[in-house]
A and B are shown apart, each in its own frame.
Chain A
Amino acid sequence: GAVVSQHPSRVICKSGTSVKIECRSLDFQATTMFWYRQFPKKSLMLMATSNEGSKATYEQGVEKDKFLINHASLTLSTLTVTSAHPEDSSFYICSVSRVGEKLFFGSGTQLSVL
Chain B
Amino acid sequence: AQTVTQSQPEMSVQEAETVTLSCTYDTSESNYYLFWYKQPPSRQMILVIRQEAYKQQNATENRFSVNFQKAAKSFSLKISDSQLGDTAMYFCAFMRMAGGTSYGKLTFGQGTILTVHP
Chain A residues within CB distance 8 Å of chain B: 31-32, 34, 38, 41-46, 49, 51, 57, 91, 93, 95-97, 99-100, 102-103, 105, 107-108
Contacts and interface: CB of A to CB of B under 8 A. Distances in A.
Interface residues of B, number: 21
17 contacts: A32-B101, A32-B103, A34-B104, A34-B106, A41-B111, A42-B110, A43-B91, A43-B111, A44-B108, A46-B107, A93-B43, A93-B45, A95-B45, A99-B103, A100-B103, A107-B43, A108-B43
B44 A103 contact: no
A-B interface, 8 closest residue pairs, ranked by CB to CB distance from nearest: A97-B104, A105-B45, A99-B103, A43-B108, A44-B108, A32-B101, A43-B110, A108-B43
B43 A91 contact: yes
Contacts of A96: 104
A107 B106 contact: no
B111 A42 contact: yes
B118 interface: no
A95 B100 CA distance: 15
B22 to A, nearest CB: 15
A105 B99 contact: no
Given A41-B89, A44-B91, A95 B110 contact: no
B81 to A, nearest CB: 25
B110 A49 contact: no
Interface in B88-118: 89, 91, 95, 99-101, 103-111, 113
A43 B3 CA distance: 12
- Tell which of B89, B91, B105 has the most Cβ of chain A within 10 Å: B105
